[in-house]
């Protein structure tokens, strides 16, 4: 019996040894490929003028050598960027460090944003959601307060985003040990076990499909397409989840580019009660006579212009002015709100929101110039969507005559949607996650 036990232990030990050797060889292979590709990407980097960037850094309390880490972001060899620091409490000790930075670097655009609202369990993401409306630029970088960077950091992060196929840039990092044994062990673990695991995942999956808190670099419109920071206020691993969802956007764009056999139109929606769960990619159908809703969602009356569903809603400006309007429901638009030029001009909305850089909205008929901006809230019945972004059409309108504009997936995908044309109603039910 003892002999068999020893033999079994030997077999397990040999298998474990070979498995470990195989994993370490894979780590070396993944690291070699990463270093080779990194060297090539640096050599191919563009020498043109890089786009402006907004750096978002949520803070709470202080860390050892934190001021030097924050200071390194003010020393960037980069033509145009801003740094927004966010704290929940104005009396947070980190606020003093931000004031020191502003005094030392008066030429830099540095702002401190107080984020008093608690939007969810993750205070960091709650702060980010409240900081975002103050950001000026399309490119966003989020990183942790203890990250210290070199002077070419911004150039290296923004360069890959010049490729439309790249949705997010994230970074490995190394630990700088303090004098304690625990700190040294943690630093060693980051440089060996953690980094190696990330590179193996990159090699096996054919790219990175998650984010690391050391750096998240992405486009503002991609963030809006996945629901904004508000969609992650109850996630612990927010960096992983944001990266995963932005990576999934690329797959969705590829899926959308494939040929379609047809479109589910108004006749289909009149025939059935249709429930749509976009993140889960589920479409549920029910016979109107058998449908009886007993949930706690918001039931919103539908009006129709021809076959287009229309709802009443109201926009809350940054000065808390309420602007009422009629909005078309457009599940084919990935934006939050798109507002027509006549409605924007009649209500002088360009003077009542936080404006962002101009851009263009592309559709079947070509491109239309737009202005980006943020409102305080959008109200649909008793449902309140905080800090929605909007596209202000500078020419024409995305909706029919007499409508304010349309509401897109940026808003709708936050809910389970049920369209009940037979009862002329839409039901928005808050997702459980």
Q: What are the tens digits of pLDDT across the range 271-313? A: 999 998 876 778 899 999 999 998 889 999 999 988 889 999 9
Q: Is 432 exposed, middle or buried (0-12, 13-18, 19+ CB in 10 A)?
A: exposed
* DSSP-assigned letter for residue 49: P
Pick the more confident residue, 420 or 190: 420
Arithmetic mean of pLDDT, 368-376: 78
Arithmetic mean of pLDDT, 232-252: 83
The dihedrals phi and psi of 97, each to the nearest 5 degrees, come to -65, -40
Arithmetic mean of pLDDT, 93-113: 93
What is the spatial distance between Cα 118 and Cα 71, in angstroms, rounded to a whole number?
Answer: 28
Give CA torsion, residues 254, 257, 258, 259, to 10 deg.
170
**Residue 153 pLDDT class (50, 70, 90 cuts):** very high
pLDDT of 178 higher than 70 = yes
Greatest Cα pair distance, the chain, in angstroms, is 90
Pick the more confident residue, 210 or 358: 210
What is the percent of the chain with per-residue pLDDT over 70, rounded to a whole number? 90
* DSSP-assigned letter for residue 318: T
Helical pair 2-43 and 195-205, crossing angle rounded to 10 deg: 80
**In this predicted structure, what is the pLDDT of residue 360?**
47
Pick the more confident residue, 195 or 50: 50
Predicted TM-score (pTM) of this structure: 0.61
Ordered by where they begin, the domains of the chain are 47-171+212-255 (3.90.550.10), 266-430 (2.40.70.10)
**In this predicted structure, what is the pLDDT of residue 420?**
94
**In this predicted structure, what is the pLDDT of residue 343?**
93
Residues in the chain: 433
Name the one residue in this structure whose structure tokens are 């029919």.
400
**In this predicted structure, what is the pLDDT of residue 95?**
93
**In this predicted structure, what is the pLDDT of residue 282?**
84
Flag the least confident range among 94-98, 208-212, 298-302: 208-212
**Residue 394 pLDDT class (50, 70, 90 cuts):** confident
């Amino acid at each position: 019996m003892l002999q068999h036990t020893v033999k079994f232990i030997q077999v397990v030990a040999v298998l474990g040894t070979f498995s470990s050797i195989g994993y370490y060889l894979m780590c070396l292979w993944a690291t070699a490929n990463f270093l080779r590709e990194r060297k090539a990407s640096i050599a191919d980097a563009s020498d043109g003028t890089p786009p402006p960037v907004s750096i978002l850094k949520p803070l709470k309390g202080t860390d050892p050598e934190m001021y030097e880490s924050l200071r390194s972001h003010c020393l960037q060899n980069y033509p145009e960027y801003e740094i927004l620091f966010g704290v929940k409490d104005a009396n947070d000790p980190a606020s003093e460090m931000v004031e020191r930075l502003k005094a030392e670097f008066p030429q830099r655009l540095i702002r401190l944003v107080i984020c008093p609202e608690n939007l969810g369990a993750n205070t960091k993401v709650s702060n980010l959601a409240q900081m975002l409306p103050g950001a000026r630029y399309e490119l966003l970088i989020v990183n942790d307060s203890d990250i210290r960077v070199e002077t070419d950091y911004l150039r290296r992060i923004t360069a890959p985003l010049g490729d439309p196929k790249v949705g997010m840039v994230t970074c490995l990092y190394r630990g700088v040990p303090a004098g304690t044994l625990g700190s040294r062990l943690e630093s060693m673990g980051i440089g060996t076990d953690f980094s190696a695991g990330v590179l193996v995942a990159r090699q096996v999956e054919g790219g990175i499909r998650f984010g690391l808190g050391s750096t998240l670099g992405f486009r503002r419109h991609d963030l809006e397409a996945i629901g904004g920071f508000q969609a992650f206020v109850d996630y612990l691993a927010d960096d992983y989840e944001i990266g995963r969802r932005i990576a999934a956007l690329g797959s969705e764009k590829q899926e959308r580019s494939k040929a379609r056999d047809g479109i589910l139109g108004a006749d289909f929606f009149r025939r059935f009660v249709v429930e749509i769960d976009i993140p889960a990619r589920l479409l549920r159908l029910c016979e109107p006579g058998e449908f009886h809703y007993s949930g706690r969602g918001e039931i919103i009356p539908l009006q129709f212009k021809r076959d287009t569903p229309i709802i009443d809603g109201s926009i809350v400006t940054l000065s808390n002015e309420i602007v009422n309007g009629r909005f078309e429901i457009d599940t084919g638009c990935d934006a939050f709100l798109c507002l027509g030029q006549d409605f924007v001009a009649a209500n002088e909305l360009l003077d009542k929101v936080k404006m962002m850089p101009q851009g263009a909205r592309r559709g079947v008929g070509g491109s239309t110039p737009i202005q980006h901006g943020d409102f305080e809230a959008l109200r649909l019945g008793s449902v309140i969507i905080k800090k929605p972004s909007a596209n202000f059409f500078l020419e024409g309108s995305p909706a029919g005559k007499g409508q304010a504009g349309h509401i897109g997936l940026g808003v709708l995908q936050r809910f389970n949607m049920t369209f009940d044309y037979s009862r002329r109603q839409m039901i928005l039910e808050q997702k459980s996650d």
